[in-house]
Amino acid sequence: MQQDDQWRDTDLARSYDAVVIGSGAGGAPLALRLGQRGLRVLVVEQGDFLKVERGGTETPPGKFITKVMGSREAPLSVVGGRTKFYGAALYRMRESDFRETVHEAGTSPAWPITYAELEPYYEQAERLYRVHGTPDGDPSEPPRANPFPYPPLPHGPVVADVVRRLQQTGTRVAAIPNGLDYGPGGKCVLCASCDAHYCTLDAKMDAETASMRPALATGNVHLATQTEALRVLTDSEGGRTTGVLLRRRGVEHVVRAEVVAVCGGLPGSAMLLRHSRTERHPEGLGNAQGALGRYLAGHSVGMLFPFVSWKTLPPIYTKTFAINEFYDGAPDWPYPTGVVQIAGQMPFWEETSRLIRPVAKLIGTHSFMCFYMTEALPTRETGLTFEGDKLGGRVEPVHNLQTLGRLRGLAVDAFRRAGYRSLARKRAPYLWHEVGTVRFGADPATSVLDPDCQVHDIKGLYVVDASTLPSAGAVNTALTIVALALRAGDHIAGHAPAARHADAAPLDALQAPH
Ligand SMILES: Cc1cc2nc3c(=O)[nH]c(=O)nc-3n(C[C@H](O)[C@H](O)[C@H](O)COP(=O)(O)OP(=O)(O)OC[C@H]3O[C@@H](n4cnc5c(N)ncnc54)[C@H](O)[C@@H]3O)c2cc1C
Ligand code: SF4
């Protein structure tokens, strides 16, 4: 990782209207919106810029996560957070995800806002992240005021055949909405190495390229890298935030601000609120009624490998189709099931033991890597436990195991009807796209944040990232995090003194250039 702190280094002694902690999926768009509205903003990011050289024009633009970070488990503390490696599948959550929904193993909670309230922000997020898509073939797609900003990505050669055969045999196939700088004037070359890879062409619309750079371009936003937020500070009454204690290259600084937005992801945001304990808030900020760290949710995921070619597959961008027709239920299954999605090509066999690597590679080079994904439910018991200021343990969300099995069967059947046999090993589900632990809601007994993402009873303290979401639905969650961040930014700016809006910039003028 290259140390690149001279680009937009920051004077910590300046005064700021807002400090945003974390530059990932939540923090970067929030900073952008505040900067667009004319607020002076400091973003603090504990990591550095991640710069990876391509290594010659003949090598693919994408670099696999394990090659860049050393392992898949390494913390993704970099400018842009986890989105530097994400697959850029940018979905709106479905209308039903905002309502209380009964599942096989429990109930998914209602959100404090409706889909209709978030719809305008989804539209802004899609434009900002250049989302390519279409509602065709997707009965679960929620209503939208305007079409997708860009047409769906074209299917690669083998993918197009598989899609055609699935459709011919009665399966409704949908496009995956992807956030890439693709099309006329765009940098994306639709290479085979995108999902779980870093893009050396800067063509993936991630939190750095799509939000942080336009935020810095407003002139109102400053970024301090390699700077960790240690504590959020509150006044003596405990009812208002006053700033944040930071550590930058071993030196501690206090930065004062009327607004502090914690966007440190999971478990970073919950841990920071816990670390910020005071006499007025002995169990942590926002934890008066014990909701902090609780209600962890996410996605239960299984893998499926339809065998699509006797020949070794060429390197192609594959992440273009999904099967979403069973989202809200399936024949003889009364509960919501979820989605089947094709993933990008990735050399997963390199992460397996030497013994099974040849077989894993054979599978990986002759089949598509697909996954099926259902909602994993929160309860009061799921989430993080604290031991003093440390993380004590974690309780997993509740997996809907029979539903996951049913969805697996539906996926295997769909590919079999189309003429492809699949390998779909039964095993305990993976937990992806974790959400919750600092959720928003109307009731302080069961939530940390109010519906505007402000901590109950602490003025000026906000949390906007994956930990804000009360449930995960069954589609990828990053676009929802971006939409919530833009909405929270408007709320914060709307409550700032009017004089601060003097340097506001038009919202559409600040997209990242091609
Ligand atoms: C391989 C991979 C593929 C994925 N694919 C998709 C996909 O296709 N679609 C999708 O929707 N989602 C995808 N995701 C998930 C998505 O990236 C995350 O859900 C999202 O980035 C979470 O956003 P966040 O803001 O909560 O956290 P992050 O994006 O991780 O950002 C948190 C930031 O806060 C910083 N931070 C934390 N604590 C502090 C502190 N105390 N002081 C200073 N800085 C701090 C961190 O360093 C980090 O940069 C994928 C994830 C991975 C790893
Ligand atoms: S597909 Fe496009 S955005 Fe993704 S790594 Fe390749 S060039 Fe970059």
- Longest CA pairwise span in the chain (Å): 70
Minimal-distance CA residue to ligand 2 atom 2 = 188
pLDDT (mean) for 191-220: 97
Encode pLDDT of 405-433 as tens digits: 999 999 999 999 999 999 988 899 999 99
Task: Identify the burial level of 367 via C-beta atoms within 10 angstroms of its C-beta, where 0-12 means exposed, 13-18 middle and 19 or more buried.
Answer: buried
Residue 5: predicted pLDDT: 46
- Closest-CA residue, ligand 1 atom 9, reads 89
Using alpha carbons, select from 259, 265, 211 the residue that is nearest to residue 465: 265
CA quadruple 205, 206, 210, 216: dihedral positive or negative?
A: negative
* pLDDT, position 511: 56
Model confidence at 499, pLDDT cuts 50, 70, 90, reads: very low
Q: CA 405 to CA 461: how far, in whole Å?
A: 42
Q: Which two tokens stand for residue 459?
A: 């003025």
| Sign, CA torsion 382/301/118/87 | positive
DSSP 354-395: TTTHHHHHHHHHHB--EEEEEEEEP-TTSEEEEETTEEEEEE
The span from the CA of 79 to the CA of 46, in Å, is 8
Structure tokens at 7: 């680009």
Residue nearest to ligand 2 atom 1, measured at CA: 190
Count CA atoms closer than 13 A to 299's CA, side-chain side.
Answer: 23
Task: Output the CA torsion sign for 212, 218, 221, 222.
Answer: positive
For domain 18-509, which architecture applies?
Answer: 3-Layer(bba) Sandwich (3.50)
Neighbours of 74 (CB within 10 A): 11
Helical (H) or strand (E) element with 488? helix 478-494
Q: Compute the distance between CA of residue 462 and CA of residue 502 in angstroms, rounded to an integer.
A: 23
Q: Which residues share a beta bridge with 305?
A: 423
CA-nearest residue for atom 3, ligand 2, is: 204
| Alpha-carbon span 234 to 277, nearest angstrom | 10
Ligand 1, CB cutoff 6 Å, lining residues? 21-27, 44-47, 65, 76-78, 81-83, 85-89, 196, 228-229, 263-265, 268, 272, 433, 465-466, 476-478, 481
The verdict on the CB of residue 153 being under 6 Å from ligand 2 is no
pLDDT tens track for 151-166:
999 999 999 999 999 9
Distance CA 456, CA 206 (A): 30
Q: Percent of the chain, pLDDT > 70?
A: 94
Every domain of the chain and the residues it spans: 18-509
Average the pLDDT over 10-25 and give the result.
87
Confidence class of residue 73 from pLDDT cuts 50, 70 and 90?
confident
Of 63-67, 294-298, 495-499, the range with the lowest mean pLDDT is 495-499
